[in-house]
Amino acid sequence: MNKTVKECMDLDVFKNARLLAGAKGVENVVTGLSVLDMVKEDDVKRFNSEKGLLFFTGFLGVLENERVQCRLIQKLAEGGHSGLVIMYMGRGIKELDTSVIRSAESANLPLIVVDDNKLNYSHMINAITGDDKKNKEGENHLISEVVKTLLDFDKHSDFESAIKEAAVANDFQVILLGANFNPIFTVETRKRETIQEAVKKARENRLDGKQRSSVFVSVNGIDTYWRTVRIEETSYYMFLVDTELIRALVRGNKPLAYSLNEEAKIKPSEILSVFFAKDISSESCEDIFLRFEKEEGFSLHRISDNGETYGMITRVNANLDKVGEFKQKCSELYESLKGNKSARIFHITGIDGIDGVADAYKEIEESWSFAQNIFPYKRVFTKYEMALVSNCIDIEVGEGKIKKNYIDLLAPFALISSKKREQLLGTLETFVLDSGMNAAKTSELIGIHINTVKYRLRKINALLGVEITGNRVIPGLTIAVALKRLEKLMP
């Protein structure tokens, strides 16, 4: 590339842009383009080998930290880069602090704000590189990063080293296929999806080698993007695996998730359920996922690492009249995954858009480790169990008076011997938390005769002076016994 910052700003995509600082640097030559949405300032170091890059950011990882924003600008200037373009104003960062503007001015680093929120990173990169100027759809920012690297791959010894750098820097898998879909080159990741399955999906989506923009294809729940590239007069298909949307949602980075979802084009009404699962990485579970997608018409978006899987279930054109039916199908899927005795699935079904997904992952993250100990016999956990656990955690770490109100419900047990107390409390916990107030199930779990269970329950009723299954009694009693179990886990 040999454009200056000023020449870039003359393009149509910058017509609603403002130069806030660094006017002396507008003649800086732009050698390349990159997206800079990191969490810590040290991440700039990975660009130290290059100079003259024009960066695009929404400060999505450091929205509330003006100090870090200033340090990022200083490090970009020290690295000899050409400028910084701020995107998603008002939707991500609300307003730039004056200290940030002063930092850019003192460093003579052009600081540009794009006020058009309909534009995303890909629009800007495509316009500057001259690649597909007429494309109105936009494309995934990872695709743009790869294309940018390919356009500049003369900086590298060969094409393979250029594409490897793009894959490593952006954390995705890339496969280069010939016109007949034979694999030419691959940068591996831990994804388990086969090239054959990806090719099948691509053919089903009628990839014909002529499209210039990227095409989104879901391959067994993994988000992939396809694009044709031309290298030394030969056309190839380029296939990339992207997990950034799920990762952004799991991290609770809502601004970044909204940005990525613009490209994935998942409507809020299409999101049905999210889940976190442990120990479901088996061929039988994979078959269950594939069958669920094929037979029920749902899409599964997921990432797996070290025996843990995060996922989101969507359905295109979800009929509102059938939402209840769709939720039931999701619940049936989770139940079918618990074949492995060590498997644990935590799901929240019934989600309100991207905000709801991020909030659901947060609730799961905060409660799952406690939930599996409060309910040791369960393998599938719903939002009801996790809501109970979250409330118990809040009570445990909050004001002592609220906890005392619940624990006092069990005070009569202190009046009997320790052996009897242990027997009756253990029976009560199992009856209320583990067996759904079913005496036969309680008998099975504890390993005693059902008549013994019934005898102990009568003793508990007499001791507390209430019928423990009464609808005004069981809510408070459930929290009380859950708090007793939680006490054993808290430091």
Q: What is the pLDDT of residues 274-302, one digit of tens each?
A: 999 998 866 778 788 888 888 888 888 88
Give the HSE-up count for residue 463: Cα atoms under 13 Å, Cβ half-sphere: 20
Distance from C-alpha of 160 to C-alpha of 388, rounded to nearest angstrom = 52
Number of other CB atoms surrounding residue 396 within 10 Å = 17
Task: Give the tens place of pLDDT for each residue, 50-70.
Answer: 678 888 888 876 777 888 888
The overall average pLDDT reported for the chain is: 78
Do residues 257 and 358 make contact, with C-beta atoms less than 8 angstroms apart? yes
Is residue 151 predicted with pLDDT exceeding 50? no
When pLDDT is averaged across residues 308-328 and rounded to a whole number, the result is 79
Look at phi and psi of residue 14 and say left if phi exceeds 0, alpha if psi is from -120 to 50, else beta: alpha
Predicted pLDDT at 123: 80
Higher per-residue pLDDT: 314 or 263: 314
pTM of the model as a whole: 0.56
Do residues 128 and 3 make contact, with C-beta atoms less than 8 angstroms apart? yes
Task: Give the tens place of pLDDT for each residue, 216-231.
Answer: 566 555 556 666 666 5
Let me know the angle formed at the C-alpha of 263 by 9 and 313, rounded to the nearest 5 degrees.
Answer: 160
Among 88-102, 119-133, 283-297, 378-392, name the most confident range. Answer: 378-392
Strand partners, 30: 3
Q: For the chain, list the domains and their CATH numbers.
A: 3-129 (3.40.1390.20), 141-245 (3.30.450.20), 265-389 (3.30.70), 398-487 (1.10.10.2840)
Predicted pLDDT at 116: 83
Helices (H) and strands (E) in the chain, counts: 18, 17
Predicted pLDDT at 213: 46
- As a whole number of angstroms, the longest Cα–Cα distance in the chain is 88
What size, in residues, is the chain?
Answer: 491
Distance from C-alpha of 186 to C-alpha of 105, rounded to nearest angstrom = 44
Distance from C-alpha of 475 to C-alpha of 145, rounded to nearest angstrom = 54
Distance from C-alpha of 238 to C-alpha of 191, rounded to nearest angstrom = 16
Task: Give the tens place of pLDDT for each residue, 354-373.
Answer: 899 999 999 999 899 899 88
Distance from C-alpha of 268 to C-alpha of 356, rounded to nearest angstrom = 9
Do residues 277 and 344 make contact, with C-beta atoms less than 8 angstroms apart? yes
Do residues 215 and 226 make contact, with C-beta atoms less than 8 angstroms apart? yes
